[in-house]
Homo-oligomer: A and B are copies of this chain.
Amino acid sequence: MSNNKTIITIGRQYGSGGRKIGKLLSERLGMPFYDKELLTEAAKKSGFCEEIFHENDEKPAGSFLYSLVMGTGAAATADAMPLDNKLFLAQFDTIKDIASKGPCVIIGRCADYALEDYKNVLNVFIYADMEDKKKRAVEEYGLKAKNIEDAIIKTDKKRASYYNFYSGKKWGVAGSYDLCINSSKFGIEKTVDFIVDCVNELNK
Q: In the assembled complex, which residues on chain B have CB atoms less than 8 Å from the CB atom of A192?
A: none
Please pick, from B172, B182, B197, B201, the residue contacting A179 in the complex, using a CB distance under 8 A. B182
**A34 at the B interface (CB under 8 A):** no
Q: In the assembled complex, which residues on chain B have CB atoms less than 8 Å from the CB atom of A180?
A: 125, 174, 177, 179-181
**A54 at the B interface (CB under 8 A):** no
Copies of the protein in its oligomer: 2
Residues of A in contact, count (CB < 8 Å): 22
In the bound complex, how far is the Cα of B197 from the Cα of A202, in angstroms?
Answer: 17
| Structural contact, A172 and B172, CB atoms closer than 8 A | no
Closest chain B CB from A53 CB (angstroms): 27
Closest chain B CB from A108 CB (angstroms): 15
Q: Which 7 A-B residue pairs are closest in the complex by CB-CB distance? A: A180-B180, A174-B180, A178-B185, A178-B182, A174-B174, A127-B175, A125-B174
What are 26 sample pairs from A and B whose C-beta atoms fall under 8 A apart? A13-B175, A122-B185, A125-B180, A127-B174, A172-B175, A173-B173, A173-B174, A174-B180, A174-B182, A175-B182, A177-B182, A178-B181, A178-B182, A178-B185, A179-B180, A179-B181, A180-B181, A185-B202, A186-B198, A186-B201, A186-B202, A190-B201, A194-B194, A194-B197, A194-B198, A197-B197
